[in-house]
Amino acid sequence: MPILLLDENLPKKLKYRFGEGYDVTTVPERGWSSLKNGELLKAMHDAGIEFLITADKNLSYQQNYQKLGIKLIVLNTVDNQYEFVLPFVPKIKALFGQDIIQDYNWIDL
């Protein structure tokens, strides 16, 4: 089962909406809150975490995530509060259900 990492720009409680079959952890749970983006991607790689769910729309332009084998799932949201990002969970799950995860995944509502 792949591990999904929720970036610290997303509410931690979002992880509980994925349910069984998903191993979701957060940046703070891993003790990575102080890491910059490049360091975070390296820590993910070293820990065997392949998927980063984030609302940071610029991350793909700033970092070479593909070189580390990281797949980005970017939520195109106007607000990072729980009620705004919760509707993205079924769309994220659909990506995994259809096995169509690419290196860069932009999700709109």
CATH of the domain at 42: 3.40.50
The number of distinct structural domains making up the chain is 1
Task: Tokens 């705004």: give the residue.
Answer: 84
Q: What is the predicted pLDDT for the residue at 47?
A: 97
* Backbone angles phi and psi of 10, in degrees to 5: -115, 150
Could you report the per-residue pLDDT of 26-63, keeping only the tens digit for each? Answer: 999 999 999 998 899 999 999 999 999 999 988 878 77
Q: Which of 19-23, 56-60, 99-103 bottoms out in mean pLDDT, i.e. has the lowest? A: 99-103
Q: What is the predicted pLDDT for the residue at 84?
A: 96
Q: How far apart are CA 43 and CA 97, in angstroms?
A: 26
**pLDDT greater at residue 30 or residue 99:** 30
Residue 109 has pLDDT above 70, yes or no: no
Task: Tokens 């940046």: give the residue.
Answer: 27
Give the domain range for residue 14.
3-107
Q: What is the predicted pLDDT for the residue at 24?
A: 97
Q: What's the pTM value of the predicted model, to 2 decimals? A: 0.90
Q: How far apart are CA 38 and CA 99, in angstroms?
A: 27
3-state SS assignment for residue 40: helix
Burial profile 52-78: b = 16 or more Cβ within 10 angstroms, e = fewer:
bbbbbeebbeebebeeeebbbbbbebe
